[in-house]
Amino acid sequence: MPPRDLRPTIFTMPKIDLHRHLEGSLRLFTLAEIAHEHGVDLPSMSPEELRPYVQFVDDEAPDFLNFLSKFRLLRRFYSSREAVERIAYEAVVDAANDNIKYLELRFNPVALAMNQGFNFEDVADWVVMATQKAQEDYNIQVRLIVQIGRHEPQYARQLAEIAVDRQAGGIVGLDLAGDEIHYPITNFIDVFQWAKKQGLHVTIHAAEAGPPGNIKDAIEKLGAERIGHGVRAREDIAIMDLLNRKQVTLEICPTSNLQTGIIPKLGQHPLLAFYRLGIPVTVNTDDPSISNITLTDEFLVATVNVGVPFRDLCKMVIFAAQAAFLPEAEKAALVDWFRTALKKYVPDLP
């Protein structure tokens, strides 16, 4: 497929995003409006002047902790129920406008609540209601994942209970994210094992900045069915073999991996190598507003910069459907729908 045809083709094709953070999906214009309406104390009220504080800009040196630091300022914008609902609604709308047909949006109730002293249960309900409204208004299916911060183990049980109690509202899983170098999983094992017994699915950020062995711990101790990032698995053949044998899906986010300094350049990303080894891989956005990208952009990066053939990119969309946190019958229907839809682009797609 000629490069000039790629962007419109990738934009129009139906897509899946399994790894997108609500807190990293805020529109700059919305941030400026919320700051103005609610008197949020900021370095600037201008969207453009605000950009370097909440978005990775071109002249920044890639750095994992610097990337995470963007979220600290973002916590100040969840200033009211209306703001939380607006941000959640717009995150789904933006995904739908990029022809994402199935989205799993993860959110951290602590991040949404703590700055204003909101109740964790309340903000979870606001996100559930806003995403349900967006699904009704746009042609997209959304499921939610509650994210727990590694540096906040004191809230883990409460957040797990919130997720378990709201499964009927579309919350399907738990995630553990944050600084995996300084905060081990020890304090989370019992909580995740309990949540899984209550019917929740589990995805874990692992081997993004931390060592490859974190993937083994996530699978064996926390019951991870999917791994967020997992890029450093390339350093350990035994871990790659584990992922292959157990067919644990990797949620890959190439631009984020570049901006956090996990990979030195896109041409050295292991996405295609993992795929060729038989590891199920998917392409996702991570934090579209912080990285200033869409999923269309990420698919283009995967093809043009990483070297994934378009046919294999379509196969990765099928992998994403197969890894969706849905009941088996719903998942089978999702896979069938995407197989049929993608045959327009790759007629002999397996």
Amino acid at the residue 1:
M
State whether residue 170 is helix, strand or coil.
coil
* 208 given a catalytic annotation: yes
Q: Find the catalytic residue in 85, 208, 225, 251.
A: 208
CA–CA separation, 282 vs 323, rounded Å? Answer: 9
CA 89 to chain centre: 16
Nearest CA to 27 out of 298, 295, 290, 299 is that of 290
Count Cβ atoms below 10 Å from residue 158 Cβ, excluding itself.
15
Q: Identify which of 231, 266, 229, 218 has the alpha carbon closest to the alpha carbon of residue 251.
A: 229
Instruction: Work out the end-to-end distance of the chain between its first and last CA atoms, rounded to an integer number of angstroms.
Output: 19
**Cα 183 versus chain centre, distance:** 20
How many angstroms separate the CA atoms of 252 and 250, rounded? 6
- Which residues have a Cβ under 8 Å from the Cβ of 254 and sit 6 or more positions away? 263, 266, 269, 271, 283, 298, 301, 302, 305, 306
Report, as residue numbers or ranges, the catalytic residues.
208
